[in-house]
Amino acid sequence: MHPDLAIVPDFPLQRFNTFGIAACARAYLRLTDVAQLAALRADPVLSSMPLLLLGGGSNIVLTGDVEALVLHMAIAGRTIVGRDSGHALVRCGGGENWHGFVQWTLAQGLGGLENMALIPGTVGAAPIQNIGAYGTELKDVFHSLTAYDLASGELRTMDAAACRFGYRDSIFKQAGGAGLVIVDVTFALPLAWQPNLRYAELAQAVRDAGLDAPTAQQVSDIVVAIRRRKLPDPAVVGNAGSFFKNPVVSGAECARLLAAFPALVHHAQPDGSEKLAAGWLIDQCGWKGRTMGAAGVYPKQALVLVNNGGASGAEVVALARAIQADVGARYGVHLETEPVFI
């Protein structure tokens, strides 16, 4: 067998998913170099196995043992690669921790990622669901990425159009992205940085801190403080961040809902549709802090499901289905799940 392919059989994944669900992978490989992917393709046994690409494990629900070869993305490296008009171009290996990378860019004097500080997960997973928080999405600071195509064995450079970014969505969640492994991501960070304080809660927190002209590091520190206050630390309470996407409905549908529920939280979108706050809908149905078995709804944020200790994937799924049914019955709105069920 190729020396780079140190496959571990029957590998426990509990420490590698932030929900902390106990499950085993049939086989496991830590991926530190793109050359391993070429070696994997050339191996007649391994290339015929189903594959599961694992990043920080912060957006998955394991519903049983994983009958696949788990490729654990651990490709490292952070470099300023150049400039285009008005931006520094910064490249980062897909296996780097996202928050560590954000803090590294700030230490280089580069702003742009601070609103997305403390989002769990890896840099390589960030484009898959176009991560976002406090008014910034990955696509706003994205330049390009390198993906290894397992089907052809080629490295591809993909720009934003090729990635087809949407709200918590990209080609990597669709059929067109099958077999593409994100090896590194390049960001375009503004040389003339300005804070993005369009998200009301963040703007208020900056004012409360008495900062008229915050630095990018100060904005990052405030985002970290807000997240620590509202969201559970996966190292303490297992969770996968927001469990549902905020549903997008037509303007007419929103008007219908507002007539019946005047306090409905909604945000107008540029195309005339309205994004509803899933956390509010779930909260109004009385789910905040409730439990089903060892799975529960986080008491401070109804959009986050938690593992209160020893929860199985099936318990988490049962809780999610019960919430979807209640919200559907009361509001006629379908809540789409955000994490990937495996």
Positions annotated as catalytic residues are 168, 242, 338
Mark 9-48 with x for binding to ligand EPU (rule: CB under 6 A) and - for no binding.
----------------------------------------
Six token digits for residue 240: 């996968």
- Min dist CB 105 to ligand EPU, Å, is 19
Residue 331 backbone phi and psi in degrees, to 5:
-115, -10
Residues 151-164 as b/e (b if ≥16 CB within 10 A, e otherwise) read eeeeeeebebeebb
Q: Within 137-156, which residues bind ligand EPU (CB under 6 A)?
A: none
- Min dist CB 95 to ligand EPU, Å, is 20
**Nearest C-alpha neighbor of 313 from the set 61, 86, 114:** 61
The residue among 303 and 342 lying less far from ligand EPU, judged by its C-beta, is 303
Q: Long-range contacts for 288-295 (Cβ within 8 Å, ≥24 apart)?
A: 292/318, 292/319, 292/322, 293/318, 293/319, 295/319
Q: How many residues bind ligand EPU (CB under 6 A)?
A: 17
Six token digits for residue 170: 């990209």
Find residue 78's DSSP bridge partners.
Answer: 92
Verify binding: residue 224, ligand EPU, rule CB under 6 A. Answer: no
Q: Within 200-219, which residues bind ligand EPU (CB under 6 A)?
A: 201
Q: Within 288-317, which residues bind ligand EPU (CB under 6 A)?
A: 288, 301-303
Task: Return the number of other C-beta atoms located less than 10 Å from residue 129's C-beta.
Answer: 23
Figure out which of the listed residues 241, 247, 296, 313 binds ligand EPU, where binding follows CB under 6 A: 241
Q: Which amino acid type is present at position 145?
A: L
Q: Which amino acid type is present at position 199?
A: Y
Q: Within 82-111, which residues bind ligand EPU (CB under 6 A)?
A: none
- Min dist CB 342 to ligand EPU, Å, is 17
Cβ-in-10-Å burial (0-12, 13-18, 19+) of 318 comes to: middle
Is there a contact between 172 and 128 (Cβ–Cβ < 8 Å)?
yes
- Min dist CB 293 to ligand EPU, Å, is 21
Mark 254-293 with x for binding to ligand EPU (rule: CB under 6 A) and - for no binding.
-----------x-----------x-xx--x----x-----
3-state secondary structure of 111: coil
- Min dist CB 116 to ligand EPU, Å, is 9
Site residues for ligand EPU per CB under 6 A:
133-134, 201, 241-242, 245-246, 265, 277, 279-280, 283, 288, 301-303, 338
